[in-house]
Amino acid sequence: MIHVAVKAALEAGEAILEIYAQDFEVEYKADESPLTSADKASHEIIIQALETTPYPVLSEESAEISYAERKGWKTYWLVDPIDGTKEFIKKNGEFTVNIALVENGVPVMGVVYVPVLGALYVGSDAGAWKAVKGEHFQTLEELLGKLPDPGNFQRLEVSGKPVGKLKVVASKSHCNDETREFIADLEKEYGEAELVSRGSSLKLCMVAEGSADIYPRIAPTMEWDTGAAHAVVTAAGGRVFEYQSEFNATDYVTTSKRVDDVPYNKENLLNPYFVVSGLHE
């Protein structure tokens, strides 16, 4: 399944970059979220690849599948053809291709590809790793030949505890008052924090690789926005907790109180607010 997902992600990334280099039109869906020809092209490539497997596919671009149909899915693919379409339109490079395999409401394998950087993040029961084009592989064929051995790539591990300043990663578009209050609460325990802004699922990947310690997302996201990177973070030793407004920020480090993991394949595909933590005691 990793071979299939990695091949699909990189082939979709190539198609995305071809459109990224050109002028392209932007449409808007009913919820006013943007849609481009790159989203459509990526979706078609990924769907065609994943349909060769035994599992159904839920993609952002096929989200009309009814809950009555998908509620019986024990294992399925969860896809965001381009996570960060707004970043794609701005041409800042901070967008990703997300492909997750979900079992019983839990992302068990995830592939996140960053086309502009040629950076691939993978998480599974074998651990989490990162491969960069030009450093770990030159061609898709070479990359696939090195799979599934994560020893051929950069192993990922969460920070565990801050080294120097606490590094907090936040959304470029959704840093609201509640998020700022959460960060201020952390600073009472750890001192002044270093804040980093990133687009798309790159924020979760930063926690997975230890370049950020914690990522509070106290704003809306959909399941396909997070599934793949959720699997990467978990495989790297981190957790994705459901945000509870009555908890202190440090409760997401010590987990002294009961905090649930974020569930998937709900009737409403909107995620609860959450906190991605690479910190633990």
Residue 220 CB-density burial (10 A; 0-12 exposed, 13-18 middle, 19+ buried): exposed
* Residues forming CATH 3.40.190.80 domain(s) in the chain: 166-277
User: Cα separation of 105 and 201, whole Å?
Assistant: 19
Quote the crossing angle between the two packed helices 37-50 and 2-20, to the nearest 10°: 160
- C-alpha 250/C-alpha 214 separation (Å) is 11
Tokens 């008052």 locate to 177
Quick one: fold of 166-277? D-Maltodextrin-Binding Protein; domain 2 (3.40.190)
Which residue bears the tokens 């906190």?
Answer: 275
* Rounded Cα distance, 156 and 162, in Å: 16
Task: Name the residue among 110, 127, 120 with its Cα closest to residue 227.
Answer: 110
Q: How does pLDDT run along the chain (281 residues), one tens digit per residue?
A: 999 999 999 999 999 999 999 988 888 888 778 888 999 999 999 999 999 999 999 999 988 899 999 999 999 999 999 999 989 999 999 999 999 999 999 999 999 999 999 999 999 999 999 999 999 999 999 999 999 888 899 999 999 999 899 999 987 656 788 999 999 999 998 999 999 988 889 999 999 999 999 999 999 999 999 999 999 999 999 999 889 888 888 888 766 555 567 889 999 999 999 999 999 76
Per-residue pLDDT at 191: 94
In the chain, list all ranges with CATH 3.30.540.10.
Answer: 2-155
Predicted local confidence at residue 255, as pLDDT: 61
How much is the pLDDT for 202? Answer: 95
- Architecture, CATH, for domain 2-155: 2-Layer Sandwich (3.30)
